[in-house]
Amino acid sequence: MTVAVILVSSLLYFGSGVGQSAAGLPAELGRRADGSLVSSPKAELLHGFSLAMRLERMLLYPLLLLAFQLSGGAAALRRVLAGQAQPWLARSLPGPVRLVGAVAQRIPHGWRQRLPGSDLMVILLFVLAFHLGLYLLYLPFNFYRSFVVGHQFGLSTLSAGGWLMDWLKSVAIGLVTNGLLWTGFFALMRLAPRRWPIPAGALSLVFSLIFVLVTPVLITPLFYHVSQLDDPNLQQRILALTARVGLEVDEIHVIDASSKTTTVNAYFTGFGGAQRIVLYDNLLNGYTPDQVEVVLAHELGHWYYKHHLLSVLGLGAVAWLGMFALRWLLNKTWRWLKLTGPADVAVLPFILAVAALVGMLTMPVENGISRLAENQADEFALEISQKPQAFIELFEQFAEQNLSVVDVPDWEKFIFYTHPPVAERIARANRFSRSAQNQ
């Protein structure tokens, strides 16, 4: 039932004809008598649409996982794969299969008893098959949400082939990272049945730090052409900004986002010697130097306060504690789930469902912290650039170009928003400019 709803929901959205009406709607912001902004009708429509799809995904995803787990589907998949694993290993197939066999042979004898090569093989195959199934099931939904809706609203510049190519790349990346992570996770559970949360938490933290470091170098170039910012005027402005706060910033990259989207964005990533600011080329093409300077000043704020490193470490610490809670939960539930033990790989859908439900409950806290960091970066941007007017015009243009609504109800901001809504950011700039005038 859940599978059917996920599969046909995009047809239902399309059949409603709502998205098709987007092309005729104006995208310009309105203004009230008191000067405050009103979202464009097109942005309002997109917002309602995206919220519906977001809620659908949030509710159905854990349901789907639990249904697969409780119906015995997960255990059946593990049994089928276990029947295949032994002969595959014996025949020593090429690639990953042989690699796992070779790794298993190097495991010390005591450990090999706890985790025979064929078991390791079953774990890897299960993780890959299960995730591949999820990607395929969500393919129509994601294609609709990102490609069809993206074109209806004029936000996507990708061809269907280009979209599919990007999807294939993300599936490949997802399979490699999930394969590595979960195989390692279940291997640790087998090797250290009582103490596994300690090494598993440490390894997941190291893994996320490495992932943050390699993403700009290995993953971003798979999707975009990346180049260094090459604009003497902007570089001069950056030098002036950084000199004011004593930062040394030499890594400002530009990606050709216009090959995929009409939206604008910029972000900061990395830590230590690998920090960088990434700008969409759309930003450099359609905005004034003052506005780009404000964006850079905002990203420098994230750099200055080390927001990225703090968030990885914070999430890592929470995940580490979560491992202990998970151990308790698995020890309590594996019999009820009709599994062979707490380290049975067939418990993976259950773990993901619990993680999704916990994520849902903690999302307001996580997003609240993120909005605090964004407010801090906005304040920093206003302070060091001293350009509140450019700041205001920047966010008005952002809202129009990205089809974002100007403001949302408090409950929605509280649950979903990682950034303050545009109206709030503009209000901050107005306050800043009033207090500057009073001084």
Collapsed DSSP state (helix, strand, coil) of residue 64: helix
Smallest gap from Cβ 294 to Zn ion, in A, equals 12
Q: Name residues contacting Zn ion, limited to 268-307 (CB under 5 A).
A: none
Print the binding letters for residues 305-324 with Zn ion: x by CB under 5 A, - otherwise. --------------------
Q: Is the dihedral of CA 29, 30, 36, 38 positive or negative?
A: negative
**Among residues 138 and 417, whose Cβ is nearest to Zn ion?**
417
* Residue 394 neighbours by CB under 8 Å, 6+ apart: 287, 291, 294, 295
Asked if 128 and 175 count as a contact pair (C-beta separation under 8 A), the reply is yes
Distance between CA atoms of residues 340 and 75, nearest Å:
9
Nearest to 22 by CA among 201, 177, 166, 153: 153
Q: Name residues contacting Zn ion, limited to 376-405 (CB under 5 A).
A: 377
Cα dihedral 422/150/283/219 (nearest 10): 110
Smallest gap from Cβ 297 to Zn ion, in A, equals 11
Pairing of strands 30-31, 37-38: antiparallel
Distance between CA atoms of residues 140 and 124, nearest Å:
26
The residue count for binding Zn ion (CB under 5 A) is 2
Smallest gap from Cβ 162 to Zn ion, in A, equals 28
**Among residues 339 and 426, whose Cβ is nearest to Zn ion?**
426
Smallest gap from Cβ 419 to Zn ion, in A, equals 7
Smallest gap from Cβ 365 to Zn ion, in A, equals 18
**Among residues 78 and 308, whose Cβ is nearest to Zn ion?**
308
Smallest gap from Cβ 374 to Zn ion, in A, equals 5
**Among residues 101 and 216, whose Cβ is nearest to Zn ion?**
216
Total residue length of the chain: 439
Q: Name residues contacting Zn ion, limited to 357-376 (CB under 5 A).
A: 374
Neighbour-count burial for 220-252, b at 16+ CB within 10 Å, e otherwise = beebbeeeebeeeebeebbeebbeeeeeebebb
Smallest gap from Cβ 210 to Zn ion, in A, equals 23
**Among residues 85 and 241, whose Cβ is nearest to Zn ion?**
241
**Among residues 155 and 373, whose Cβ is nearest to Zn ion?**
373
**Among residues 37 and 377, whose Cβ is nearest to Zn ion?**
377
Query: At 30, which helix (H) or strand (E)?
Result: strand 30-31
Chain positions contacting Zn ion, by CB under 5 A: 374, 377
